[in-house]
């Protein structure tokens, strides 16, 4: 029997949208089943169900956000709006499912629902005619439902449920075109790598129950409140709990050393890459640390005086640099963006590690818009301008005039990613860097500045190769409008290898010119159709303006006010309190601004020298210089981590296990089966010889022989003589009379 629990008066004062926020994940979850069962019978293949469900979720999320902000005007620090029903009970412990609404949850709900809606609209054109069009939208809808379920989780049980739904859907979506072996391998790699980290989530959750005696996250008796108040027995136990949970965050959010699955996930359709890298799965690990921040803050001694190194900051800092370096040697535009995501996730983790909780969470918010836009821009280029290729060196260049909407939104989003002043990324990323300096995490301040330089440099390279210079391959075919038959076969190979999509399945039967299924915008006649460009314009606009929700240079702190009661720890009150974000001063932003400018100037100069038509000493430098060549090879081989994992660790573990399993199968399992078979055979032979032949057949043959002997003995009686029959009858009567006399005497 279900029992409803609520957060007292807060629920009654909250409003309909806040009370019914549980509908936000439920609607797309139901839509998933509707698409599966009825999608193929719908006019739009089920995509209309997915779009409608995500739009409905966004409307409810927006309404909840409005009511939460209104609630903040009347209550300084409102309690989370918690509403649950008991799922099951075990040993007096209740496991519930429902909702916990606070500022952090509101932010993520609005973000996920909004971006999911845009991505689904974009997908109607991008995967039009796909062989599994209906299943694609079903998986995409369930994927968003999983993230929304996790965001709303009032306890760790529901958190794990949403976490694992995303893991399953990511496997299906990355391997959407599973006919190509590379795509299947990428899906399996993502699944198993993330599963490795997920062991930490299961172990960490069990340890949370042991430490705090509850799995509820918020509320007075929840994990965050107990951790913040120091109500636990062992600080050492809490530390290992935080470590176990952080391992899960490393796997899910692609942090070093479990980041290797994320670039390979580009095998999935571009809308999947966009959604996965912007607002759903990869930020789930960061969200875990932000949601349970008191556990990590206390357990890992974040911001303790005299200790300015901790696990979260170290992993985040390493991830920033190694991922940014790898982005320089990628020819696939989506993989450049994938490593960029890994690096930006490193910023978020480092922010949480240096005590910059608010800037780190704000970076989740701003990053979602500009990174989603960048991925969708890459898809727009491939869909319309490069003959379905994502290779910047082979099939791009000179596209800025032919694809103005894609180009402008790319530039705006790139500026936001690089942290150019007055764009959204500047207000979030620069505050992380500034907080590291203010909280005396000097080495991580330097890492943050170095990451800003590298980010600008690799994005300048990607921009130059895609939109500037001489059109090449598929781009030359698009820009110049001529048929390049020599390119067709190569383009198809790149198309299959990079994005795994069959040209005919995608609806492009003409290999020589892009097919416009929807009308392009009137001011961009050669750009992608409106289903692609309208989401780009919306996301590009938000990449420009979203940072002003928390723009410290202009004393705007709306975002901070909406979320500050979510942390579970006070800001700036000493002891275990989290330091308040530092007061912004332009002088502190100067190093970052100068390094961004330097990254742009140096990279642009090198791009013109290396990729331009004029002779330059930089061309072929890695082939001529042994040291540079070795460094380039080291990066191209991704630090040999894949070789280490697959060739050494997996081989050292999987191969002995496989050999042991084979030996067990051959000698134990097959031995038992063969032994049973041989024993059965021998038992059958013994039964045949002794029971069947001697007993059963002997009895049958003996009865036959007896009957035959008796028949032979009685044969003379049947002579046919009346006198003999009369004698026999008289004799029988005499014997009967004698018997009667003897019986009655």
- Check whether 659 has a pLDDT greater than 90: no
Return the higher-pLDDT residue of 527 and 60: 60
Q: How many CA atoms lie within 13 A of 638 on its CB side?
A: 21
Residue-level pLDDT at 715: 65
pLDDT over 60 at 218, yes or no:
yes
For residue 710, being part of any structural domain is answered with no
Three-class secondary structure of residue 289 per DSSP:
helix
Structure tokens at 215: 């799995």
Per-residue pLDDT, 493: 33
Can you tell me the distance from the alpha carbon of 365 to that of 431, in angstroms, rounded to the nearest whole number? 14
pLDDT tier at 682 (50, 70, 90 boundaries)?
A: confident
Count of domains for the chain: 2
Structure tokens at 212: 């705090």
Its pTM stands at: 0.85
Residue span of the structural domain in which 52 resides: 1-154
For 82, phi then psi, to 5°, come to -110, 130
Strand order from edge to edge, sheet including 81-90: 4-6, 81-90, 93-101
3-state secondary structure 346-407: HHHHHHHHCCCHHHHHHHHHHHHHHHHHHHHHHHHHHHHHCCCCCEHHHHCCCCCCCCHHHH
Distance CA 181, CA 179 (A): 6
Give the pLDDT confidence of 512-539 residue by residue, as tens digits. 334 456 777 777 667 889 999 999 999 9
498 has a pLDDT exceeding 50: no
Residue 5 lies in a domain: yes
| Residue written as token pair 């689904």 | 120
The per-residue pLDDT for range 372-418, each reduced to its tens digit, is 999 999 999 999 988 889 999 999 999 999 999 999 999 999 999 99
Domain edge (last residue) among 123, 154, 185: 154
Q: Positive or negative CA dihedral for 378, 381, 383, 387?
A: negative
Residue 250 in any domain: the answer is no
HSE of 507 in the Cβ direction (CA atoms, 13 Å)?
A: 16
Task: Give the C-alpha separation, 140 to 131, whole Å.
Answer: 15
Domain closes at, from 91, 123, 154: 154
Residue 4, phi then psi, degrees to nearest 5: -90, 135
Model confidence at 487, pLDDT cuts 50, 70, 90, reads very low
How much helix, strand and coil, in percent to the nearest 5, is found in the chain? 70, 5, 25
Q: What percent of the chain has pLDDT over 70?
A: 90
Q: How far from chain centre, in Å, is Cα 574? A: 38
Residue 424: count of CB within 10 angstroms of its CB: 31
User: In sequence order, what DSSP letters do the residues of 145-192 get, joined into one string?
Assistant: HHHHHHHH-SBHHHHHHHHHHHHHHHHHHHTTTTTSHHHHHHHHHHHH
- Residue tagged 């709990």 (tokens): 241
As a whole number of angstroms, the longest Cα–Cα distance in the chain is 148
Last-in-domain residue among 105, 124, 154: 154
Alpha-carbon span 662 to 167, nearest angstrom = 30
Run of H or E including 629:
helix 626-636
Q: Angle at Cα 205 formed by Cα 204 and Cα 210, nearest 5°?
A: 95
- The alpha helices in 15-102, defined as continuous H runs, are 16-19, 23-38, 47-74
What are the pLDDT digits (tens) for 169-215?
Answer: 999 999 998 888 888 999 999 999 999 999 999 999 999 999 999 99
Preceding peptide of 257 cis, ω within 30°: yes
| Amino acid 306: pLDDT | 61
95 within domain boundaries: yes
Taking residue 105's Cβ as centre, other Cβ atoms within 10 Å add up to 29
Answer positive or negative: Cα dihedral of 494, 496, 497, 499: positive
17: in domain: yes
Reported confidence tier of residue 326, pLDDT bands at 50, 70, 90: very high
CA distance 468 to 680: 78
- Taking the CB of residue 630, how many other CB atoms lie within 10 A of it? 11
**In this structure, what token pair is assigned to residue 435?**
């907080």
Q: Which pLDDT does position 32 carry in this prediction?
A: 97
C-alpha span between 724 and 717 (Å, rounded) = 8
| Maximum average pLDDT range among 42-46, 61-65, 192-196 | 61-65
pLDDT single digits (tens) 590-646: 999 999 999 999 999 999 999 988 888 888 888 888 899 999 999 999 999 988 888
pLDDT of residue 492: 39
Tracing tokens 């929304």 back to the chain, one arrives at: 148
State yes or no: pLDDT of 28 exceeds 90.
yes
Backbone angles phi, psi at 46, to 5 degrees: 95, -10
pLDDT for position 663: 83
Q: What angle do CA 55, 105, 8 make, to 5 degrees?
A: 110
The DSSP call for residue 687 is: I
């Amino acid at each position: 029997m279900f029992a409803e629990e609520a957060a007292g008066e807060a629920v009654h004062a909250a409003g309909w949208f806040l009370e019914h926020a549980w509908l936000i994940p439920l609607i797309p979850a139901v839509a998933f089943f509707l698409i599966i069962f009825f999608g193929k019978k719908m006019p739009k293949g089920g995509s209309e169900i997915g779009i409608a469900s995500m739009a409905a979720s966004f409307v409810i999320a927006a309404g909840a956000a409005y009511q939460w902000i209104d609630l903040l005007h009347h209550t300084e620090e409102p309690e989370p709006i918690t509403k649950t029903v008991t799922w099951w009970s075990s040993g007096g412990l209740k496991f519930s499912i429902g909702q916990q609404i606070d500022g952090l949850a509101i932010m993520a709900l609005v973000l996920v629902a909004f971006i999911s809606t845009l991505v689904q609209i974009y997908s109607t054109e991008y995967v039009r005619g796909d062989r599994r069009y209906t299943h694609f939208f079903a998986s995409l809808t369930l994927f968003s439902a999983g993230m929304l379920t996790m965001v709303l989780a009032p306890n760790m049980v529901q958190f794990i449920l949403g976490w694992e739904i995303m893991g399953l859907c990511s496997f299906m979506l990355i391997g959407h075109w599973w006919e190509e072996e590379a795509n299947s391998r990428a899906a399996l790699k993502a699944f198993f790598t993330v599963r490795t980290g997920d062991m930490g989530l299961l172990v960490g959750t069990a340890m949370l129950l042991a430490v705090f005696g509850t799995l509820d996250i918020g509320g007075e008796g929840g994990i965050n409140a107990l951790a913040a108040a120091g109500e636990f027995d062992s600080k050492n136990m809490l530390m290992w709990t935080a470590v176990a949970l952080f391992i899960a965050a490393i796997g899910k959010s692609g942090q070093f050393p479990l980041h290797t699955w994320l670039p390979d996930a580009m095998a999935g359709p571009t809308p999947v890459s966009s959604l996965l890298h912007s607002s759903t799965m990869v930020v789930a690990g960061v969200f875990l640390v932000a949601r349970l921040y008191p556990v990590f803050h206390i357990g890992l001694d974040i911001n303790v005086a005299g200790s300015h190194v901790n696990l979260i900051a170290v992993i985040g800092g390493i991830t920033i640099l190694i991922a940014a370096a790898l982005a320089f040697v990628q020819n696939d535009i989506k993989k450049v963006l994938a490593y960029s995501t890994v690096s930006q996730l490193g910023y978020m983790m480092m922010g949480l590690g240096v005590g910059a909780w608010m800037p780190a969470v704000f970076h989740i918010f701003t990053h979602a818009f500009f990174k989603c836009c960048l991925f969708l821009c890459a898809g727009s280029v491939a869909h319309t301008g490069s003959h379905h290729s994502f290779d910047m060196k082979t099939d791009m260049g000179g596209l800025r005039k032919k694809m103005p909407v894609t180009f402008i939104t790319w530039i705006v989003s790139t500026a936001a990613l690089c942290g150019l002043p007055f764009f959204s990324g500047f207000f979030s990323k620069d505050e992380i860097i500034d907080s590291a300096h203010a909280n005396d995490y000097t080495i991580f301040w330097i890492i943050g500045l170095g990451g800003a330089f590298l980010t600008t440099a690799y994005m300048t390279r990607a921009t130059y190769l895609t939109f500037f210079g001489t059109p090449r391959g598929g781009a030359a075919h698009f820009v110049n409008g001529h048929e390049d038959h020599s390119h067709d076969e190569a383009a198809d190979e790149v198309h299959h290898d990079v994005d795994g999509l069959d040209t005919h399945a995608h609806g492009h039967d003409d290999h020589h010119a892009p097919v416009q299924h929807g009308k392009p915008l009137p001011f961009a006649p050669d750009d992608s159709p409106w289903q692609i460009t309208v989401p780009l314009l919306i996301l590009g606009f938000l990449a420009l303006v979203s940072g002003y929700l928390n723009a410290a240079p202009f004393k705007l702190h709306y975002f901070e006010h909406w979320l500050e009661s979510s942390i579970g720890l006070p800001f700036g009150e000493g002891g275990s309190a989290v330091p308040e974000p530092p007061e912004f001063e332009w002088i502190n932003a100067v190093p970052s601004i100068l390094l961004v400018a330097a990254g742009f100037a140096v990279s642009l100069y090198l791009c013109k020298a290396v990729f331009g038509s004029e002779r330059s000493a930089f061309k072929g430098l890695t082939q001529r210089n042994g040291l540079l060549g070795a460094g380039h090879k080291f990066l191209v081989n991704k630090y040999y981590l894949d070789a280490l994992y697959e060739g050494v660790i997996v081989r050292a573990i999987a191969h002995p296990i496989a050999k042991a399993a084979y030996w067990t199968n051959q000698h134990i399992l097959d031995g038992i089966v063969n032994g049973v078979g041989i024993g059965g055979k021998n038992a059958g032979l013994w039964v045949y010889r002794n029971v069947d032949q001697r007993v059963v057949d002997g009895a049958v043959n003996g009865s036959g022989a007896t009957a035959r002997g008796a028949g032979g003995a009685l044969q003379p009686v049947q002579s046919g003589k009346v006198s003999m029959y009369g004698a026999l009858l008289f004799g029988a009567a005499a014997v009967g009379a004698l018997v009667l006399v003897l019986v009655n005497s």
